Structure 1
Amino acid sequence: MRSAPAADAYADDEWLNDIISCLAEGKSVRRDLPGGGRLHIDRPLPFLCVHIAEDDAEPVARDIAQANAAYLIAPHAPVAIKVIDAVAKAMRGRFGSFAVFDLGELTQDRFLTEDSPFLPPFEIAIWSSDDMVEAAECFSSAISDSEARFRTPKVERVTTPPYREDIELARVMRLSTLAIRFAPVYRQAGTDNAYPELREQLVAMIFDAGLKAMASFIESGGILTLKTHRALGRRAFVDAVTRVDRSIDEVASSFDFLLAVTPINAEAAFEAFRANGDHPAFLYRPLTVQIESAKRKLYSISFDHLEDPVLYQLYREKQHELDLQLSLLSFRQKPQFVEFGRALYGPVEPSLLDEARMILAHLANIDADDDGNADNAIADSGYVQARALNMIAAYQTQLDEFEVSVELRDDLPSGLMVSGHRLLISSATLMDKKRVDPLLSHEIGVHLLTYFNGSAQGLRLFRTGLAGYEGMQEGLAVFAEYLSGGMTTARLRLIAARVVGCASMLNGASFSQTYSILVDEYNFSSPAAFNLVLRLYRGGGLAKDAIYLRGLLALLAHLRTGGALEPFWMGKIAASHFTVMQELAERGLLRLPAVRPLFLETEEGRARLAVARSGMRPIDMIQK
């Protein structure tokens, strides 16, 4: 392999000397190059992803290259060769080996013809230097194993580098090289228009396969020990990520969805309902957001320069979720509200409804209000507030920034809720004193804890919540009540009844019909049934309350198969994001939780967790 030239060979290239100095000191590099292009190295790595093309001639290859932690984009070969030489010398000095992962696009999609009776495969050409054959095979296998939703990739090994003649890097530089060229299947035939979904799929597929190939090169050479190929991904957020994060957060914080759909006249509505049995007339706070303006702002956010497919997907998902929430608010108290709610929270699946009915049947004929114990002491809102302040103080010993605003509110139905960093307690709250600490573990030990841990991650998205986070979040919160020793018969019946009531509401039953089901078939008292049905029919019919049991079942299944809880404390995430959080943690982009739940610091809590790991159903969680 040819040695890279000494630094004095670049005496006329001050920009290159700056790069060489940073590389020698092991610093990160993000440098625009003369004549266009960029070198980005967020940490020393024994490979460099290279893409050489003029302007935006090959946009998908450029996007894949930019997704890497170490990449070079250049319009022409001469500058690229100088940079690659400098990087190769520095990285070989550090690791003993170095490879180039060269990406580009083929000039045409030659398998697609006008008379094709179906969508044919698309071409991916691979060339490798002799010492990169194993990496090439790894790339080929990864592509073949990927799930292609539109067209199937057809991988072909070629004997000569698939370059234009002026940029045959492998021949010029004699470096360990894996070169990939793929057909531009993301383009609509005969135009420059793209298929956006296909483009995103192509970026994700080739990026992941490339990391696997580089991991194969690194591990076979004994260069580094990797837990996963994803550990080779980025470990630093570029400025564009921070801009998108702040922009998304500005939209998300411009309205409080749950407060906007929570009635402010619950007590008066109950009295009116008892008097005439009609659908109560709920009153709501005025909306604090102008829906059309918020949507324009939401979709004006550009994700073009995030350079990280994982983060791109997370922010795109959140954008869609915020759009749904804003649509819900725009149809508050209108017939369309319930359907947007179904789209946001999902239907009640038959298996979920069966589980809820089983729980209610198993616990039939038990008074849902007091667990059959008339001697239980009652806590009012003042007592709940005092206990909340004590628990918050305990969490502040772990993190000074755990600053929660505790508010007593007259405009909420009986109970508690969290909004951002605030704990809102209805002044009408009355509950069994034994339920106070478990319920505070739900609200403070999960909802607020993940808010502050998410804040510590550096991106507001993790405190606001990734798209779809609420199901797992509520499942964790209910599980926290069990770990705190407070899962009662009444509580579990309530959670199950929410599912049954939600199914009734989604099936078109009226408020009074769903109320009657709870009272007549499941022995709920009139106040308890009303408060439950109020939650279901608020705003016009909100499908949210089925997520508590759904999330709990998902969590118990996760624990039963050996899943860890740690990633769930890092921020507000969905079950579908568990592997994403693990990956981001492996890449060093996420910190360990700044605060740990108090209920897991006790012997009792850890013992209950061990029982759950051995396998349990919700019905097994009841504690006397």
Structure 2
Amino acid sequence: MTHASSETRSSDDSWLDEIVSCLADGKSIRRDLPGGGRLHIDRPLPFLCVHIAADGAEPAARDIAQANASYLIAPHAASAIMVIEAIEAPLRKQFGAFILFDIGELKQDRFLTDDAPFLPPFEIAIWASADMAEAAEIFSAAISDSEARFRTPRVERAEAPPAREDKALGRDIGCSTLAVRFAPVYRQPGSDQIYPELHDQLVSVLFDAGLRAIARFVEAGKILQPKTHRALGRRAFVDAVSRVDRSIDEVASTFDFLLAVTPINAESAFEAFKQEGHQPVFLYRPLALQVEAAKRKLFSISFDHLEDPVLHQLYREKQQELDLQLSLLSSRQKPQFVEFGRALYGPVEPLLLREAQIILSQLTNTEPSGDDDGGAQDRMADCFQVERRARTMISAYHRRLKEFDVSVELRDDLPSGLIVSGHRLLIARSTVMDLARVEPLLSHEIGVHLLTYFNGSAQGLRLFRSGLAGYEGMQEGLAVFAEYLSGGMTPARLRLIAGRVVGCASMLDGATFSETYSLLVEKHNFTPPAAFNLVLRLYRGGGLAKDAIYLRGLLALLDHLRTGGALEPFWMGKIAASHFGVMQELAERGLLRLPAVRPLFLETEDGRTRLARARDGMRPLDMIQRQET
């Protein structure tokens, strides 16, 4: 091994000694370096990602480096070599190997010309030391297999290691090295401006390919045996993540979306509808925020220093979802409200509508009960009985997790039923339901919505308690499934969930309130009170497409279980089905904890038996047909 940088050390190199000491003690390192640059090692690892360039000269390569759990950013090769030499020895001693992943950009995008009739491939040049040959092949394969939405990468092997200032890291230091240079395709031709989407895609693909290559090397050499290549990623949140998390949560906490679009005059509106027969006038709570100010605050949040591409994507998605919710609030009771709702919750897909129609046709003669506002009076529960049972269940969860602190409120300004708002359980005073439905419905609200709120709070980021973007579909599907696991999926309840889908499709197709009401009463045999409450939910605010997500989420969950999917990640916080892989990755990286508390309904033998049946394959109707007698 050579020591080309030894003459560059100053007489005061105590900061290098501090770095070596931290590594020897297994501590994390995050410090700005004398002369510029930064070293970040969130835990000792057998590799270091290095990027050498003047500050801001190669932003995509810098972001790829910073995405790693162990990276060095340096303005000059000499200063980089000095740091690398200092940390190599303790890491090599611990792991028996030391790997450099050297990332940088080519000077120009030489394949792109002004008169090109199409977007040509872009160049990626790689060089690897002899022992990294297989890792280089893995890197090349990962790049070639990646989805290219704009330009296709062309990977070429370089004959010599790339050099800066006549220094090549792999050659001068003599360690295992994978060096990558890519064309700056994210820059607009003839300009310093960038294509943000292309930049983000490039960072994501190259970062992932680098981790795959390193993982193969450490596995083959029996240095480490990570569960997946992503397990080599970050295990600590930088301060910038906490700042963004707080800022996003502050915006999300300024409004309660469902309360803001829920009418406060449901009972009087129903009486007026029975007498007059046309769409009732709904009254709403005044908004407690100025939407324009909230949006300014939302989009003033900078994601520039998050460094972790996965978290960057999660917060960007949440920002976009909050923007849509705020747009919905600003258009409440206006024609465009329904279209913002369609954008947020999606349309009613043909297969979803067909499933709902099958359920309604199979259960068409079922007598309404429970949620449908019927049933024998001697087995009905009022709001006070629901409240007592809710407090008992909350106490049971509180004994398992002292932070499970729920406020239970009886309210006069809600339609019949229950709503969870943050850490609060709101019960309408007009609530009357079948006594047998109380336990399943509380399992829905407390055992899923509140449980995932408090489990999400325990993850260290507020995002997991307020919910990742698009979480509501899977959350409601999970909550409906909890009713089944609790032994309470009645024909009437399943009819109600299917009726919401059929009614939502009618609303989105342009039907009036009265037309959708008549469809449910005359064609699908809903009682007038049940049909009114259902249609009220659909037409609140001006037409809210949310209620189709219950059946959609349930179908997605049943498919997930049938194919061997686990439930555990869904208890960690409020997540969407599309985030299942992300949650697994973050858990494997040590960024997420196991659920702080688990659902009570899965502690029973009946609950576990029902879950096993669902894993064998089940459709919504089977939840009734296979229910124990």
Q: Give the TM-score normalised by the residue count of structure 1.
A: 0.98
The residue correspondences of 1:527-538 to structure 2 (distance < 5 A) are: 527-538=529-540
Shift, 1:480, TM fit: 0.1
Contact 2:108 2:183 in 1 (8 A): yes
**C-alpha deviations, 1:26-70, integer Å up to 9, x for none?**
110001001111000000100000000011100000000000000
Q: Size of the alignment, in residue pairs?
A: 624
Unaligned runs of 5+ in 2: none
Q: Deviations over 1:495-548 (max 9, x none)?
A: 000000000000000000000000000011100000000000000000000000
1:69 is matched with 69
Q: What does the per-residue CA deviation read over 1:466-521, in whole Å, with 9 as the maximum and x for residues that have no partner?
A: 00000000000000000000000000000000000000000000000000000000
Change (3 A) 1:375 1:272: closer
Give the alignment of 1:594-613 within 5 angstroms.
594-613=596-615
Report Cα offsets for 1:317-364 as digits up to 9, x if no partner: 000000000000000000000000000000000000000000000001
Tell me, in whole angstroms, the C-alpha distance in 2 between the residues paired with 1:30 and 1:141: 32
1:260 partner amino acid: A
Residue aligning to 1:565: 567
Contact in 2 for aligned 1:341/1:544 (Cα 8 Å): yes
Deviations 1:274-315 (A, max 9, x none): 000111000000001100000000000000000000000000
> Do structure 1's residue 386 and structure 2's residue 388 form an aligned pair?
yes
Aligned residue in 2 for 1:546: 548
Distance 2:378 2:83 in 1: 75
Instruction: Name whichever of 446-455 and 130-139 sits farther off.
Output: 130-139
Q: Is the 8 A contact 2:121 2:152 kept in 1?
A: yes
Query: What is the CA–CA distance in structure 1 between the aligned matches of 2:421 and 2:574, rounded to whole Å?
Result: 13
1:304 and 2:270 equivalent? no
1:183 match: 183
Q: String of CA shifts for 1:216-274, please: whole Å, max 9, x gaps.
A: 11111100111100000000000000000000000000000000000000000000000
Measure the CA separation in 2 of the matches of 1:311 and 1:568. 18
Please say if residues 48 and 70 of structure 2, whose CA atoms lie closer than 8 Å, have aligned partners that are also in contact. Answer: yes
Deviates more, 1:101-110 or 1:359-368: 359-368
C-alpha contact (below 8 Å) 1:511/1:533 kept by paired residues: yes
1:442 aligns with 2:444: yes
Identity %: 77
SS in 2 for 1:397: helix
Q: Give the Å deviation of 1:162.
A: 2.4
Q: Would the aligned equivalents of 1:472 and 1:575 in 2 still touch at CA under 8 Å?
A: yes
Give the C-alpha shift of residue 613 in structure 1: 0.1
The answer as to whether partners of 1:4 and 1:88 remain within 8 angstroms in 2 is no
SS in 1 for 2:140: helix
Deviations 1:361-398 (A, max 9, x none): 00012222359964760100000000000000000111
Q: 1:3 deviation in Å?
A: 8.2
1:56 alignment partner in structure 2: 56
2:287 pairs with 1:287: yes
Matched letter for residue 432 of structure 1: D
> Partner amino acid for 1:571?
G
Give the match for residue 126 of structure 2: 126
- Shift in Å, 1:164: 2.7
Q: CA deviation at 1:4?
A: 11
Which SS does the other structure have where 2:104 is aligned? strand
Matching residue of 2:509 = 507
Mark the runs of 5 or more structure 1 residues left unpaired by the alignment. none
Deviates more, 1:168-177 or 1:143-152: 168-177
CA distance in 2, matches of 1:300, 1:154: 37
Q: Which residue, out of 378, 403, 406, partners 1:404? A: 406
Cα deviations by residue, 1:58-110 (Å, 9 ceiling, x for unpaired)? 00000000000000000011211111011111110100001000000000000
Are 1:106 and 1:181, in contact at CA under 8 Å, matched by a contact in 2? yes
Q: In structure 2, what is the equivalent of residue 207 of structure 1?
A: 207
Whether contact under 8 Å (1:11, 1:17) holds in the other structure is no
1:569 touches 1:593 (CA, 8 Å); kept in 2?
A: yes
Give 1:474's match in structure 2, choosing from 467, 473, 476.
476
Matched, 1:416 2:421: no
Structure 1 counterpart of 2:405, one-letter code: E
Asked if 2 retains the 8 angstrom alpha-carbon contact of 1:123 and 1:183, the reply is yes
Residue 172 (structure 1) shift? 1.2
1:339 aligns with 2:339: yes
- 1:149-164 aligned within 5 A: 149-164=149-164
Q: Determine if contact 2:478/2:554 at 8 Å carries over to the other structure.
A: yes
Contact 1:467–1:573 (CA under 8 A) maintained in structure 2: yes
Matched, 1:102 2:111: no
TM-score of the superposed pair, with normalisation by structure 2: 0.97
| 2-structure distance, mates of 1:36, 1:553 | 54
CA contact (8 A) 1:22 1:29 kept: yes
| Contact 2:369/2:434 (8 A) holds in 1 | no
Would the aligned equivalents of 1:407 and 1:425 in 2 still touch at CA under 8 Å?
A: yes
Q: What is the distance in 2 between the residues matched to 1:279 and 1:553?
A: 32
Partner of 1:174: 174
Deviations 1:438-493 (A, max 9, x none): 00000000000000000000000000000000000000000000000000000000
Q: What residue is the counterpart of 2:580 in the other structure? A: 578
1:109, 1:123 within 8 Å by CA — same for their partners in 2? yes
Counterpart of 2:400 in 1: which secondary structure? Answer: coil
Q: Secondary structure at 1:365's aligned position in 2?
A: coil
Residue pair 2:77, 2:165 contacting (<8 A) in 1 also: no
1:235 equivalent in structure 2: 235
Structure 1 residues 238 and 584: CA distance shift in structure 2, 3 A = same
- Cα distance between partner residues in 2 of 1:601 and 1:163: 61
1:113 aligns with 2:113: yes
**Among 511, 522, 526, the residue aligned to 1:520:** 522
The CA distance in 2 between the partners of 1:3 and 1:97, in whole Å, is 18
SS of the equivalent of 1:279 reads coil
1:79 equivalent in structure 2: 79
How big is each residue's C-alpha offset from its partner over 1:383-429, in whole Å with a ceiling of 9 and x where there is no partner? 00000000000001110010000000000000001000000000000
Which amino acid in the other structure matches residue 493 of structure 1? Answer: R
